[in-house]
Structure 1
Amino acid sequence: MGAVVIVDALWGDSGKGKVCAHLAVRDKAPLAVRAGVGTNAGASVTLDDGTLVRARQLPTGWINPGTTVAVGSGVLVDPTVLAGEVARFDLDGRVLVDGRCALIEPGHVEAERADAHLAATVGSTCTGNGAARADFVLRRARQARDEPALAPYLTDVARHVNDVARDGLVLVEGSQGTLLSLAFSDEYPYTTSGNCTAAAAMDDVGLNWRLVQDVLMVVKALPTRVGEGPLPYELPEEEVLRRGIAEYGVVTGRPRRKAGRLDRELLGYAAMLNGPTQIALTFCDHVDPAMRGARDAGAITAPVRALIEQVEHDTGAPVVLLDTGPGLSDMIDLR
């Protein structure tokens, strides 16, 4: 079948984790693999029984019982965070970690928390990812294969990803967002410490480009941003609260700044960088509350239909998924 690369168009927090979980369940994917920088970004999914799942290290594909989850070699691993998620989600025997992943260690976290530039100017999560990546580039970081506690999980994830993708479906879950990319953002230093494009995600997990089936770009209907940096069409906090569309970061709990509309030029630029073949349009209920919890195409309202047309025009790709609420099943499949 091939691989589906899930990438965020803008500044992250778009619901990539929910999209990954939905596809894993719908398509019974045998493998989901995490791309991205590391544990500096989180994913949250509300299960149909109301359970809120929050993850920082592992992809959310494990929500399908038959899906193995993995961490690509380009992703930083925090052994404590990993162990916590394996235990919390009862994933013994279902987790793979590439032995070449660099480790985030306590000293990396301490260094970032003591760095006023990162904490105050950039608005970093200060979870040790930038410091660990710097050590990796300087070839002095420890790797996953150097940590005895990670031994049960170790394998060559790149080889496994390509082997599975030749005959089955692999979901590659990116993190953060295209416009936070270190080398592609015009907003430096208000970026993360790596790139967050589809090509970067493929590189993070060692995926052969010939095995890519689709690039699914996730577009948040009303974009958000955590930390510093510009946010076009940003709404006043009181307006966000009045409309009942406030959000908070998974990792830090900080309020997410929220825009009142998409920036069409930036969306087009993200499409140019990522080459999406499909679009997932998320948080549609924040555009029109009448969409909350809708699960059938017949429930799509006029404002959301207009937004779908606009996004398809600006990205050159069809909208195939609509996210309509917090629950895992609050999704309209248009494929």
Structure 2
Amino acid sequence: MNTILVGAQWGDEGKGKIIDVLTKDVDIVVRSQGGNNAGHTVEVGEEKYILHLIPSGILWPKKTCVIGNGVVIDPVSLVKEIKGLESRGFKTAGRLLLSEMAHLVFPYHRAIDELREIRKGKGKIGTTKRGIGPAYGDKAARVGLRLVDLLDARKFKDKLAERIETNNIAIKALGGKAIPFKETHADYEAAAKVLRPYVTHTVVWLHEALAKKKKMLFEGAQGTFLDIDFGTYPYVTSSNTTAGGASTGSGVPPHRIDRVVGVMKAYTTRVGEGNLPTESEELSDLFHGMGREFGATTGRARRCGWFDAVATHYASLVNGFDELAVTNLDGLDSLAEIKVCTAYEIKGKKFAHPPADIAEWNAVKPVYKTFKGWKSDTSKIREYKKLPLAARNYLKAIGDLTGGKLTIASVGPRREATLWV
């Protein structure tokens, strides 16, 4: 069975943990979009791992991980991630493959990313400043450099010199400092020597694996409402974070996919700017006070709100969720009452779907239904049927409102804190 896993909200849904759990039953884990702006956290025993580019399937022995053509790769950052894993006993040679068609992220992308944010002032997007947007911009403008370029030392040097010269004009115009060619070239040449053995034509490799009946899991990054087309534009990322992106970002066609799993928190969070209709200061204070809800990539405190069923139902329409995994249920353990947004009110009218216009997003007033809390610790429960009745009722309700079959509930970051419904 080939599975796509997608975040149903604004990212940070706990996809890394669910991917890690599902990896047990597959042979290959594929990353198909985004860059090192993503941060997937997995806890195994007493160990905690934060992965930015490498699929979390790497934590399982004998599994192969693929970074597909739809990902933008910072080679220097990737080398650090590889070395970090190997220092902790995880072999990557022969288990990690990189698409030769994947585009690269350079220091000038990061510089432009940051300078644009500064210039926007209060209207900033809330980017991670990792250069992901500008790198995808170069890809769309057909001026980007790819991994295949990095492997040809002579041609790469000339191409990099031209791109740095061109981008330094833009950087200076934005008030920044020019990117040095010599230092940048040396860093990327060093990274190329490490990455060369990992690079291959992953589209062909994946289809050969399909012919051998290998099972694949496609790991999504960010979430549905950060999708460049379907998200809260312009407060979005620069790639397709929805299910369709798994095919275009890997070369595996849609008809070879068997199921789509949507991952969502039992409440809602968001990092960065943009509207969050159910945002609640009460919940934010609660979770931050517990030491929860800080970004794995940036360390920023996440904005927190009640579960938004209008958003997740729309995510189900866009992605075609067959199954649902709900994470962080234990975060709600102390609450006597729990709210769920079941409709949006905009200028006196009720809507069952999100608006397209950002001004209307900002005008949304959530319509709530209140559920009874369970007021007991669920973090040590290891069987779904042993959850409090109120917790099971809540999970069923948000699953029904979203429009998918609930198959997993998670009550903690570790593998064993996964309850199969």
* Pairwise same-fold verdict (TM > 0.5): yes
Cα distance in 2 for partners of 1:155, 1:45 equals 27
User: Which amino acid in the other structure matches residue 3 of structure 2?
Assistant: V
**Identity level (%):** 31
Could you tell me which amino acid in structure 1 is paired with residue 303 of structure 2?
R
**1:187-206 equivalences in 2 (<5 Å):** 187-206=232-251
Residue-by-residue CA offset, 1:139-168 (whole Å, 9 max, x unaligned): 111101122313211112222223323412
Is 1:285 paired with 2:330?
yes
Deviation track 1:219-259 (CA, whole Å, cap 9, x = no partner) reads 111111001111122121434345x2631111110001111
1:21-45 deviation per Cα after TM superposition (whole angstroms, max 9, x unaligned): 11112x1x22101122211111111
Structure 2 counterpart of 1:82, from 78, 84, 87: 78
| Map of 1:176 onto structure 2 | 222
Residue matched to 2:132: 129
* CA displacement at 1:301 relative to structure 2: 1.8
Which is higher, the Rg of structure 1 or of structure 2?
A: 2
Q: Distance in 1 between matches of 2:147 and 2:312?
A: 36
Instruction: Decide whether the 8 Å contact of 2:6 with 2:223 is kept in 1.
Output: yes
Structure 1 residues 119, 71: closer, same or farther in 2, change over 3 A?
farther
Who is 2:63 aligned against? 67
Query: TM-score, length-normalised on structure 1?
Result: 0.93
On the 8 A contact 1:225/1:257 being kept in 2, the answer is: yes
For 2:257, the equivalent position in structure 1 comes to: 212
Runs of at least 5 residues in structure 1 that lack an aligned partner in the other structure: none
Structure 1 segments (4+ residues) deviating >4 Å:
117-120
Aligned to 2:5: 6
1:90-101 to 2 correspondences below 5 Å:
90=86, 91-101=92-102
What residue is the counterpart of 2:271 in the other structure? 226
The letter of the residue matching 1:272 is L
Larger deviation, residues 15-24 vs 280-289: 280-289
Aligned CA-pair RMSD? 1.7
Residues in 1 aligned to 2:261 and 2:99: alpha-carbon distance in whole angstroms: 24
- Larger RCO (alpha carbons 8 Å, 6+ apart): 1
- Which position in structure 1 is the counterpart of 2:287? 240
Amino acid at match of 2:256: L
Structure 2 distance, partners of 1:170, 1:302, is 35
Q: CA deviation at 1:20?
A: 0.9
Q: TM-score, normalising length from structure 2?
A: 0.74
CA contact (8 A) 2:33 2:221 kept: yes
Query: In 2, are the aligned partners of 1:7 and 1:197 still within 8 Å (CA)?
Result: yes
Alignment of 1:156-175 (within 5 A): 156-166=201-211, 167-175=213-221
Secondary structure in 1 matching 2:263:
strand
Query: d(CA) in 2 for partners of 1:85 and 1:293?
Result: 32
Residue matched to 2:341: none
- Show the counterpart of 1:302: 389
Paired position in structure 2 for 1:54:
50
